[in-house]
Amino acid sequence: MIIIANTLAISLYLASACYQGAYLLRLSATRPRRELLLSMGAIAVTAHAISVLGPLYTSDSIDLGFFPVSSLIFWFITAITLLSTLRRPLDNLLVGLYPLAALSIIVSTLGTPAPVQAEFNTGMVSHILSSILAYSVLTIAAIQAMALAIQEQQLKSHHTHGIIQSLPPLQTMEQILFEVIWIGLLLLSVSIVTGALFIDDIFAQHLVHKTVLSIAAWVIFATLLWGRHQLGWRSQTAVRWTLGGFIALMLSYFGSKLVLELILQKV
């Protein structure tokens, strides 16, 4: 079942990206049918869910290894973006996300499982899920910020082309960015609070760097939203703060997992 789900998700992700990308890159004159693109994406995301959630959790263990969680995060990112296309013109963002989601499945399948034998209470599960959701949403914000920066630069140089030309107007992109950051900050707040409540010592030696960097990311994003409201920060200033917060958040999780699992070979 898992093999079938993996194959279906990877195939549809790549097929959809190629189908839409060919038009955006002017390799095809035929505009892709939106209903077909969304249907392919919905099936791929559903298959990806089966692929990643099935092996992740069993009755007595949960696999929070580097590669399975990477695949889970890309599933969240892709699913959230796909749902967002129902109310905003974000279809073109999926062209870049689909190949990355497919790659995350391949890497997760080839990686070595690292299940943790443990019983998690409701509080701990809420901490894990809010952490993954926060990271997923703020990854979308980082991608949005990079697209916004490129779009603004090309508009200033009067030289728009390719996928950037197909993005929503600059003002809409900026509004979406701050909406996503607000959602991500709320989820990150839940993650930090539940971690403080349900983890015995969040400043223990193996957690201190993750905790400090997560709090640093929260401060950066909170400062950005304050600057937006009080000082009218926008465009390149917003991009720099968003990417700074994302880097701190990325290091808080992936930095520690990379060192512990792939370098020190610890779980």
> pTM score, two decimals?
0.73
pLDDT tens digit sequence for 176-199? 889 889 999 999 999 999 888 877
pLDDT tens digit sequence for 54-110? 766 655 556 667 778 888 888 988 998 888 888 777 777 788 889 999 999 998 888
Instruction: Please give, one letter per residue, the 3-state secondary structure of the chain.
Output: CHHHHHHHHHHHHHHHHHHHHHHHCCCCCCCCCHHHHHHHHHHHHHHHHHHHHHHHECCCEEECCHHHHHHHHHHHHHHHHHHHCCCCCCHHHHHHHHHHHHHHHHHHHHCCCCEEECCCCHHHHHHHHHHHHHHHHHHHHHHHHHHHHHHHHHHHCCCCCHHHHCCCCHHHHHHHHHHHHHHHHHHHHHHHHHHHHHCCCCCCCCCHHHHHHHHHHHHHHHHHHHHHHHHCCCHHHHHHHHHHHHHHHHHHHHHHHHHHHHHCCCC
